[in-house]
Amino acid sequence: MGTTFEKTILAVVSSNREQVAGGAPLFYEKDRKQVQETAFLLEKILDGMAHELNDHTMIIVRHGS
Amino acid sequence: MTHSYTMAVVFGLIAGFLCRIRMLRTDFRQYPTYPHGRVIHLSLGLIAAGLGAVAVPALFEKNYTAITFLALAAQQFREVRNMERETLSKLDEMELVKRGATYIEGIAMVFEGRNFLVILSAFLTSLAVMIGRWPWGILVGLVVVGLTGWLRSGKSLDQIADVQIASVRLKGPNLYVDDIYIMNIGLEDNRRRIREHGVGVVVVPKDRHSRFTLANTGQRQAILHDVSVVLGVFRDTGEPSLVPLIKRDLNDGRLGVFLLPEEKDPEAVLEVVRRVPVLESAVRMPLTPSRNQRST
The neighbour count for residue B12, using CB atoms within 10 Å, is 33
* ipTM of the modeled complex: 0.83
Domain boundaries, position B234: 158-282
Distance separating alpha carbons of residues A9 and B136, to the nearest angstrom:
70
Average pLDDT for chain B: 89
Are both B103 and B21 inside the same structural domain?
Answer: yes
Do B281 and B218 contact (CB within 8 A), yes or no?
A: yes
Distance separating alpha carbons of residues B195 and B183, to the nearest angstrom:
14
Are both B274 and B251 inside the same structural domain?
Answer: yes
Are both B218 and B131 inside the same structural domain?
Answer: no
The pLDDT of residue B283 is 86
Residue B296 lies in a domain: no
Residue B51 lies in a domain: yes
Residue B21, C-beta contacts closer than 8 angstroms, at least 6 positions apart: B42, B45
Residue B168, C-beta contacts closer than 8 angstroms, at least 6 positions apart: B175, B176, B177, B194, B195, B198, B199, B200, B258
pLDDT value at B248 more than 60 = yes
As beta bridge partners, residue B101 has none
Distance separating alpha carbons of residues B175 and B171, to the nearest angstrom:
6
CB contact B225 to A (< 8 Å): no
Burial class (CB in 10 A: 0-12, 13-18, 19+), A59: buried
Nearest to B16 by CA among B88, B119, B154: B119
Cβ under 8 Å to A: B residues 187-216: 187-190
Are both B44 and B91 inside the same structural domain?
Answer: yes
The pLDDT of residue A4 is 47
Are both B122 and B256 inside the same structural domain?
Answer: no
Contact residues, chain B, for A45 at CB < 8 Å: none
Residue A12 distance to chain B (closest CA, Å): 12
Query: B178-235: per-residue pLDDT in tens?
Result: 999 999 999 999 999 999 999 999 999 998 889 999 999 999 999 999 999 999 999 8
The pLDDT of residue A2 is 54
Are both B263 and B172 inside the same structural domain?
Answer: yes
Residue B295 lies in a domain: no
Domain count of chain B?
2
Are both B87 and B183 inside the same structural domain?
Answer: no
Least confident of A60-64, B137-141, B248-252, B256-260: A60-64
Question: What letter does residue B35 receive in the DSSP assignment?
Answer: T
Are both B278 and B144 inside the same structural domain?
Answer: no
Question: What letter does residue B277 receive in the DSSP assignment?
Answer: B
Query: B19-65: per-residue pLDDT in tens?
Result: 999 888 877 666 787 788 889 999 999 999 999 999 999 888 888 88
Categorize the per-residue pLDDT at B290 as very low, low, confident or very high, splitting at 50, 70 and 90: low
Burial class (CB in 10 A: 0-12, 13-18, 19+), B220: buried
Residue B256 lies in a domain: yes
Residue B135 lies in a domain: yes
Query: B89-132: per-residue pLDDT in tens?
Result: 999 999 899 999 999 999 899 889 899 999 999 999 999 999 98
Domain end position, chosen among B101, B132, B153: B153
> Which site among B97, B184, B221, B241 would you substitute to test the A interface, given the most A Cβ atoms closer than 10 Å to its Cβ?
B184
Residue B148 lies in a domain: yes
Q: What is the pLDDT along chain A (65 residues), one digit of tens a residue?
A: 554 447 888 999 999 888 888 888 999 999 999 999 999 999 989 888 999 999 899 999 988 65
Do B129 and B5 contact (CB within 8 A), yes or no?
A: no
The pLDDT of residue B185 is 93
Are both B91 and B187 inside the same structural domain?
Answer: no
Q: Could you say which of B186, B237, B246 has the minimum Cβ distance to residue A51?
A: B186
Are both B21 and B72 inside the same structural domain?
Answer: yes
pLDDT value at B288 more than 70 = no
Residue B173 lies in a domain: yes
Least confident of B53-62, B88-97, B261-270, B279-288: B279-288
pLDDT > 90: what percent of chain B? 59
Residue B168 lies in a domain: yes
Are both B249 and B232 inside the same structural domain?
Answer: yes
Domain end position, chosen among B153, B169, B193: B153
Measured torsion, CA atoms of residues B6, B7, B12, B13, in degrees rounded to the nearest 10: 60
Residue B160, C-beta contacts closer than 8 angstroms, at least 6 positions apart: B205, B206, B207, B209, B210, B213, B214, B278
Distance separating alpha carbons of residues B278 and B214, to the nearest angstrom:
9
pLDDT value at B295 more than 60 = no
The pLDDT of residue B287 is 62
Domain end position, chosen among B153, B177, B210: B153
Contact residues, chain A, for B189 at CB < 8 Å: 40
Are both B260 and B277 inside the same structural domain?
Answer: yes
